Amino acid sequence: MSESGLVSLLIPAVGGQGGGVLSEWIVEAAALDGYRVHGTSIPGVAQRTGSTTYYVELVTDREASEDPVFSLYPVPGALDVLLAPEFLEVGRMIEAGFVSPARTTVVCSTHRLYTIHEKTATGRGIYPRERLAALARATARRLVAFDALSLARERGTEVNAVLLGALAG
C-alpha cells in the first residue's frame, strides 16, 4: 500500500477467463463497503499477444477528506497486488516491471494455457513452470500460488471466483 493509503491491484487475463468480471466484483464490493474505488481496463486485441489487463485502485481511508486522484494504469514497481488467473501472466507482468519485492503480493493460479508460440514451437517450446515459480518467488514480496483451475472444477465454479476468494481470504 502506498503512503497515501491507496491500494493498487492489477489483473492480467487471458480472454475468456473472466478478468473483467473479477475486476467488476472487486470494484463493486469495495464501493458497497464505502471505499472510494476506481477500475479501468485495456482489452487485448489478439489471442495471447494482445495484453488484456484490468486495473483497480481503492483508498483505504474511508474518512479521508481529499478526493483521490486515480490512475488509469499502474506504475511499474508500485503495484500492491497482482491477481493472475493464468501462470504465464505473472511472468509477463514481472517482465514489464510491475512486481516489486518491496511491495507486491502475487495471488495466482499455477495452471497454464499455452501460447500459440508454445504450441507450435519445435522441441521444447513450453516455458517451464518451475522457472516461472522461481521467478515469482524471487520477485514478489509474497506469493500465493495454487492450481485455481483444478479447485474451480472440483467446486463447480470458475477460476475468477476462486481467485476472488483467495484475495479475500
Say how far residue 2 (Cα) sits from the centre of its chain: 18
Q: Among candidates 107, 99, 91, 118, which has minimal Cα distance to 148?
A: 107
Q: Rounded distance, CA 159 to CA 19, Å?
A: 9
Q: Does the 6-168 domain belong in CATH 3.40.920.10?
A: yes
Residue 8 has pLDDT above 60, yes or no: yes
Confidence of residue 16 (pLDDT cuts 50, 70, 90): confident
Domain borders along the chain are 6-168
Q: Among candidates 28, 109, 90, which has minimal Cα distance to 20?
A: 28
Residue 159 has pLDDT above 60, yes or no: yes
| Mean of pLDDT values over 137-164 | 95
Q: What is the largest CA-CA distance in the chain?
A: 59
Q: Rounded distance, CA 130 to CA 45, Å?
A: 29
Q: Rounded distance, CA 128 to CA 163, Å?
A: 23
| Mean of pLDDT values over 42-59 | 76
